[in-house]
Structure 1
């Protein structure tokens, strides 16, 4: 497979002539712009880029990207994206899905694209609701969520998308927020990763689940509730203006994190853990942190590349065809063949 040939584009080069139609105030608008701003920074080529989606509000995405696109069927976008990548491994494939599309009917397909490690970027928009079909509870809806399908409150324990991805064998797991200025950085890191890169994006559904993420995504006081992770950097959050700088310390005896205060910027004296994005066990611990007791881990949580599925398939194909005639025309003409001449009107 060839490395991507970088070209120079602008945000406008990635916009289509289609009217962008989501509910006013929907977080999808912010994610769309974040992606359209990121692609020029990557040097991506619209002629070599494919966006694949399933069914849901997020799945309108391919219509608004000036590139190739597939709007597929419910939950099956990973299967289509895998086929596209195998047919042409040089294509830059982005998969767009939602918490319902990707983790309910599509959960099986999502698991397999992750465990196979197909080289693509997977953006899962998580608004904890079925927005397109009028607000039913989804696999990620919190317990006691009242919706048309759970009028007394959901009794389901919600799925954790990042924990699901890690459990499925994902080699890259990241998190972002629709309106965060840091989202493009997470997208760029995912693109640089060779393999299936899974990004959960918290997305505000303005109509059916408004402000459900305000406890950590609301701009005022966000520093105290968001832990932005960066490989090789201490796990710090907060600021002096919002209650002081704090950090996560790993209690090795209990093998659990605890929140510690950081005085005078001396995080080492406070025992703050340095993030190691290649440590799978650390990633599991981070995505399972109970919010409220701890800040929400965001950014690149896990990044440890491994050989990709399509590279293995292509290598196997080369081994199987080595020293053999691979011309379809010649293969069809070999052996006992004959030519039928004449026209349909000739007597049999």
Structure 2
């Protein structure tokens, strides 16, 4: 088996603003691809339009930048026509969830085996600072100078609502965490959504400030891992317990609470109730969940389509165009 390094997947000189989260993510993607071990010629990276969608230019793989919001549609066609290719779809929160929102949910619903990377900086960066579908209510931008009057999308909620089978989250500056979820997304057969929390230093600096540093993540994030108790804090002194249909934060040692009382994460559970609760945690009272939150097996779209073609084709009296012509009456013009 050929061993690859990050250099095998690198190409060109990235042109993003210094400090942009895209730089961090690209480095992690190169590293993850090397560790996954799938050859560059067996890989395709497809994007739409936006800052993050420049990424295919920096990949030594098959790559294509498509049009605004259509990355999922092109990626779907690519996977169905070339089922042996590993497909990465790169979209920003604007490209993926605004004009591309319908393609996003239907690719998930169909369970097409593509790795759908959503780089979420809560802003339109390439077009110079308009609010996006993930910008919070009241957000002041060039297109909302008095603050937005809309509630944002939660990418996890869209994914789960579209019957998504895989959802993971990472922070662009957290290289080990990012590499781990990217490797898990490839191991999952089906639509795998990875939300990457990243910063836009020019138009939305600090949007993920609470978890953008290692110290911040120790205080404000929880790394979820299948089969492991849901513990967090600088010394794993806090945990999550179920309270009714929701969750509550508890401190170990208080009121006799021990690690045995803490919920154990089940990413493979068909019932997504608790997984969605984890994915939607936010704010001062709860940590932000990072890692693989949901990972459930299901039939993939492209496998079902190709199986159907084979089944139907086997019953037909013809298998190519010449045989089709011969199934009808023929005559010769002299």
Q: Same fold (TM over 0.5)?
A: yes
Please give the secondary structure, in 1, of the residue aligned with 2:63.
strand
Q: Distance in 2 between matches of 1:213 and 1:140?
A: 12
2:282 corresponds in structure 1 to 290
Please give the secondary structure, in 1, of the residue aligned with 2:49.
coil
Number of residue-to-residue matches in the alignment = 329
Question: Is 2:82 the counterpart of 1:88?
Answer: yes
Question: Is 2:328 the counterpart of 1:335?
Answer: yes
1:3 corresponds in structure 2 to none
Bigger radius of gyration among the two: 1
Please give the secondary structure, in 1, of the residue aligned with 2:240.
strand
Correspondence 1:131-280 to 2 at 5 A: 131-180=125-174, 181-240=176-235, 245-251=237-243, 254-263=244-253, 268-269=258-259, 271-279=261-269, 280=272
Q: Distance in 1 between matches of 2:87 and 2:98?
A: 22
Correspondence 1:314-325 to 2 at 5 A: 314-324=306-316, 325=318
Indicate which of 263, 270, 273 corresponds to 1:281.
Answer: 273
Which structure 1 residue ranges, 4+ long, deviate > 6 Å from structure 2? 338-341
Please give the secondary structure, in 1, of the residue aligned with 2:215.
coil
2:28 corresponds in structure 1 to 34
Change (3 A) 1:269 1:197: closer
1:345 corresponds in structure 2 to none
**Deviation per residue, 1:145-165 (Å, 9 max, x gap):** 110100011111111001111
User: CA shift at 1:288, angstroms?
Assistant: 2.1
User: CA shift at 1:286, angstroms?
Assistant: 1.1
**Deviation per residue, 1:119-157 (Å, 9 max, x gap):** 111100000000010000000001111101000111111
Instruction: State whether residues 234 and 267 of structure 1, in contact with CA within 8 Å, keep that contact through their aligned partners in structure 2.
Output: no
Correspondence 1:305-320 to 2 at 5 A: 305-320=297-312
Change (3 A) 1:338 1:63: farther
Instruction: State whether residues 247 and 267 of structure 1, in contact with CA within 8 Å, keep that contact through their aligned partners in structure 2.
Output: no
Q: Distance in 2 between matches of 1:195 and 1:287?
A: 19
Please give the secondary structure, in 2, of the residue aligned with 1:182.
helix
Aligned-CA RMSD value: 1.9
Change (3 A) 1:126 1:327: same
**Deviation per residue, 1:194-225 (Å, 9 max, x gap):** 10000000011011001111122233342110
Please give the secondary structure, in 1, of the residue aligned with 2:261.
coil
Change (3 A) 1:332 1:214: same
Q: Distance in 1 between matches of 2:33 and 2:141?
A: 37
Instruction: State whether residues 170 and 197 of structure 2, in contact with CA within 8 Å, keep that contact through their aligned partners in structure 1.
Output: yes
Question: Is 2:98 the counterpart of 1:104?
Answer: yes
Q: Distance in 2 between matches of 1:114 and 1:333?
A: 41
**Deviation per residue, 1:14-35 (Å, 9 max, x gap):** 111x221001110100100001
Q: Distance in 2 between matches of 1:331 and 1:267?
A: 73
Q: Distance in 2 between matches of 1:267 and 1:32?
A: 42
